Amino acid sequence: MTDFSVGDDHFLLDGRPVRLLSGALHYFRVHEAQWEHRLSMLRAMGLTCVETYVPWNLHEPRPGVFRDVGALGRFLDAVHGAGLLAIVRPGPYICAEWENGGLPAWVTGRFGRRVRTRDVGYGAAVERWFGELLPQVVQRQITRGGPVIMVQAENEYGSYGSDRVHLEELAGLLRRCGVTVPLFTSDGPEDHMLTGGSVPGLLATANFGAGAREAFEVMRRHRPRGPLMCMEFWCGWFGQWGGEPVVRDPAETAEALREILECGASVNVYMAHGGTNFAGWSGANRSGPLQDQALVPTVTSYDYDAPVDEYGRPTEKFWLMRKVLEEYGDGPLPALPPEPVGLRGPVRVELTQGAPLAAVLEALGDPETVESGVPPTFEELGVDRGLVRYRVGVPGPRQAYPLGAAGLRDRAVVYVDGVRAGVLTEEDHTLEEPVAGPAEVELWVESLGRVNYGPRLGESKGITGGVLHERQFLHGVRARALRLDAFDEPGAVARVRFGDAGEAGRTGLFRGSFEVEDAAGTDHAGLELPGWERGFVWVNGFCLGRYWSVGPERTLYVPGPVLREGANEVWVLELEEAGEPFVELGPGAPVRTGAPGGAVG
Ligand code: GLA
């Protein structure tokens, strides 16, 4: 195959009409050593193409500092090796329930509301990023013998803005960087989204979970010609902390898929296999009335109620969708690869050692800022994922007044003169007990994930207003950041001074070890932290992501490839209330979690 194009009624592969049966699998949500298995599952389901986003913030953590951009190329090679075509959606904004919709925190911190517009500074940052990234895509286009057939410009731009010049400039940039395959946009099938998000010369596609006939009618009003494609057929939905588990009925899902195909359209199943938001990269949404939207952070699992579950296994939905896809594909479908094997368990891991949070900050934290007056935001401190300790003095003598944090994002554990005084949130931002001066106050502030969708995309984290005593700003705030990335530096955790777990206190870093037999034959495990409140957990230095007792997710996914034959190590960073000093590992279970679908995203 050497050529792919957009015809008047169909996509054309080497000149022949073709229907795309595509499924989303994000390379950054699946351990690299498992790509091959998961891609074979997609092939066996009847898909012939794979779609992936690219998260800019994962790959450019600091301006001009790039991290493993080659991962995309290696993934596209694996896609090619699996006999699949590829659709790439490089953003730069991707939404995707990913922190900040994929925009680096330094980009939103620097450009604020000017992101996703024709702003010159934002444009220059995008240009540098695409210059670095796109060679991975360009050399793997179908015209050069690779799998890439299409590339998306931006993502659901019509749900956000109306700066079409920006979209056109982005398309021009993709072309200048060497992308020659067809470009497209994708948007909700609504008039304002399609008018805001599509531009002449680029194929327009639609995103929806049901009602293909009406959706494509709307599309036809805007685009009388061109192949029809549902670029995101939402076969499930994402989970939110504190929300209810949601499962989409498999038979109804398969019928919704059939309706798309009966319209003669192409499809990209979002998600075919969702995977996991490792390392605290889950984003958040804002829901409720525009002026008073609550933050709703996304869970660690990105299982999505997808046909291939988080553990790589076929579900009932898989078999029903496979049946539909088989009817529309060419010839019999390949057999499934071997079923993934889970860790034999339960294995109880005693966390024998612990270090208070202050000791962790001492060993792994950034230098403390000098008294800056007002509290710096996470963006000003260069923190994407992690927490910041703010310290400030209450002058005295003075009587007791309410003490709180204005503009708190998202959550703070507060100490007054070394004694825990409460937990503050964006809504409950004032301590229950008033505070007299003089006193020393510490606020340990955590980000629960940056907003990835809607007008509050890119808002900053930390104490974005100030520390208030009565109505007076307390100035002279010092801040010290503990970035999650600090745990990745080789040998970093060895610098922490551990003692007995029982003496570390209610928050801190805890560790323990366990033995594994037949690590090579183990595809995955599930990890539970009964009685622990909220924080992050690592296995052999690999960050599994956030845990939180509010649920509905209880079991964190452990990719088998991070396990070692013999001794293995667990670290738990507890930020609110440590449980009994142990965690449990077992074969794991698919996490079917979520909030009522369709409201956001
Ligand atoms: C939209 C976005 C996706 C994702 C889905 C919901 O369609 O384009 O990135 O956020 O919603 O899962």
Residue 100 belongs to domain spanning: 4-327
* Whether residue 102 has its Cβ less than 6 Å from ligand 1: no
Secondary structure class of 53 (helix, strand, coil): strand
Closest CA to 464 of 375, 332, 575, 347: 375
Domain contains 393 = yes
Give the integer Cα–Cα distance in Å for 104 and 305. Answer: 28
Give the integer Cα–Cα distance in Å for 540 and 566. Answer: 12
* Whether residue 298 has its Cβ less than 6 Å from ligand 1: no
Do 507 and 543 share a domain, yes or no?
Answer: yes
Residue whose CA lies nearest to ligand 1 atom number 5? 601
Domain contains 471 = yes
Do 389 and 531 share a domain, yes or no?
Answer: no
Do 544 and 466 share a domain, yes or no?
Answer: no
Catalytic residue among 156, 459, 553, 574: 156
Q: How far is CA 363 from CA 32, 155, 493, 569, in A?
A: 31, 40, 8, 19
State in Å: Cα 528 to ligand 1 middle.
28
Do 438 and 507 share a domain, yes or no?
Answer: no
Amino acid at 9: D
Position 600 scores a pLDDT of: 33
Question: What is the 8-class DSSP label of residue 431?
Answer: -
* Whether residue 353 has its Cβ less than 6 Å from ligand 1: no
Which of residues 441, 475, 509 is at a domain's end? 475
Do 34 and 94 share a domain, yes or no?
Answer: yes
Which of residues 475, 503, 530 is at a domain's end? 475
* Whether residue 154 has its Cβ less than 6 Å from ligand 1: no
* Whether residue 95 has its Cβ less than 6 Å from ligand 1: yes
Half-sphere exposure for 453 (CA within 13 Å, toward CB): 21
Which of residues 475, 495, 526 is at a domain's end? 475
Question: Phi then psi for 278, rounded to 5 degrees?
Answer: -65, 160
Do 434 and 541 share a domain, yes or no?
Answer: no
Residue whose CA lies nearest to ligand 1 atom number 11? 601
Give the integer Cα–Cα distance in Å for 138 and 141. Answer: 6
156 is catalytic: yes
Give the integer Cα–Cα distance in Å for 188 and 277. Answer: 24
> Could you read off the pLDDT of 47-69 as tens digits, one per residue?
999 999 999 999 999 999 999 99
51 is catalytic: no
> In CATH, what number is assigned to the domain containing residue 415?
2.60.120.260
pTM for this one?
A: 0.97
Do 433 and 386 share a domain, yes or no?
Answer: yes
Domain contains 340 = no
Residue whose CA lies nearest to ligand 1 atom number 4? 96
Q: How far is CA 354 from CA 156, 337, 568, 575, in A?
A: 45, 42, 17, 13
Do 166 and 284 share a domain, yes or no?
Answer: yes
* Whether residue 451 has its Cβ less than 6 Å from ligand 1: no
* Whether residue 189 has its Cβ less than 6 Å from ligand 1: no
Which atom of ligand 1 is closest in space to residue 453's alpha carbon? 10
Kindly list the strands in the beta sheet with 478-483, ordered across the sheet, starting from the edge strand earlier in the chain: 419-425, 411-416, 435-446, 386-401, 478-483
Domain contains 364 = no
Give the integer Cα–Cα distance in Å for 190 and 209. Answer: 14
Do 464 and 547 share a domain, yes or no?
Answer: no
Residue whose CA lies nearest to ligand 1 atom number 3? 96
State in Å: Cα 88 to ligand 1 middle.
15
Position 599 scores a pLDDT of: 32
* Whether residue 208 has its Cβ less than 6 Å from ligand 1: no
State in Å: Cα 156 to ligand 1 middle.
8
Taking 50 as the pLDDT cut, the residues of the chain under it are: 593-601
Catalytic residue among 232, 442, 446, 574: 232
Question: What is the chain's mean pLDDT, rounded?
Answer: 96
Domain contains 599 = no
Domain contains 69 = yes
Q: How far is CA 288 from CA 86, 285, 291, 486, in A?
A: 37, 10, 8, 35
- The tally of domains found in the chain comes to 3
* Whether residue 97 has its Cβ less than 6 Å from ligand 1: yes
State in Å: Cα 584 to ligand 1 middle.
33
Residue whose CA lies nearest to ligand 1 atom number 6? 601
Domain contains 342 = no
Position 591 scores a pLDDT of: 57
Which atom of ligand 1 is closest in space to residue 97's alpha carbon? 10
* Whether residue 238 has its Cβ less than 6 Å from ligand 1: yes
> In CATH, what number is assigned to the domain containing residue 93?
3.20.20.80
> Could you read off the pLDDT of 277-312 as tens digits, one per residue?
999 999 999 998 888 899 999 999 999 999 999 999
Domain contains 360 = no
State in Å: Cα 96 to ligand 1 middle.
5
State in Å: Cα 27 to ligand 1 middle.
16
Do 270 and 398 share a domain, yes or no?
Answer: no
Do 411 and 536 share a domain, yes or no?
Answer: no
Do 315 and 351 share a domain, yes or no?
Answer: no
Q: How many helices (H) and strands (E) does the chain have?
A: 13, 31
